[in-house]
Amino acid sequence: MFFQHTSDLEHRHLGIRNNFFRATAEFRHLVRKYAFEFLDDQNCMLVQTPILTNASCVCSGDVFTFPYYGKQVATLIQSPWMYADALVSGVERVYALNPSFRRETDATGIHLVEIWQLQVDLAWASNDEIMQMEQDLIHFIAEKLKKHTDLYAKAQLGTEHLDQLLKPFARITYDESVTLLNELGYLFDYGNDYTEEHNNAIGKHVKVPYFITDFPMSLKNFWFAHSTDNYDLSPSNDLFSHMGQGEIVGGGTRVSDYEELKANLEYFGHDLDEFAWFVDIRRHGCVPHSGFSIGFDRLVATFMGVNDIRQATLFPRIPQGLLKP
Structural domains in the chain, CATH included, are: 9-312 (3.30.930.10)
In this prediction, residue 90 carries a pLDDT of 93
Percent share of the chain, pLDDT over 70:
96
| pLDDT on residue 7 | 56
Q: Is the pLDDT of residue 1 over 50?
A: no
Phi and psi at 101, nearest 5°, equal -135, 130
Return the C-alpha torsion angle 42, 169, 83, 87, nearest 10: 30
Question: Do residues 102 and 110 lie in contact, with contact meaning Cβ atoms separated by under 8 Å?
Answer: no
Average pLDDT over residues 155-179: 97
pLDDT digits (tens, 9 = 90+) for 236-262: 999 999 999 999 999 999 999 999 999
pLDDT in tens, 60-69: 568 999 999 9
Considering the entire predicted model, what is its pTM? Answer: 0.94
pLDDT digit string (tens) for 19-71?
A: 999 999 999 999 999 999 999 999 999 999 999 998 777 665 689 999 999 99
Q: Which of 272, 249, 247 is nearest to 259 (CA)?
A: 272
Task: Work out whether the CA dihedral 53, 57, 58, 61 comes out positive or negative.
Answer: negative
pLDDT, tens digit, 9 for 90 and up, residues 78-88: 999 999 999 99
Tell me: pLDDT of 123 over 90. yes
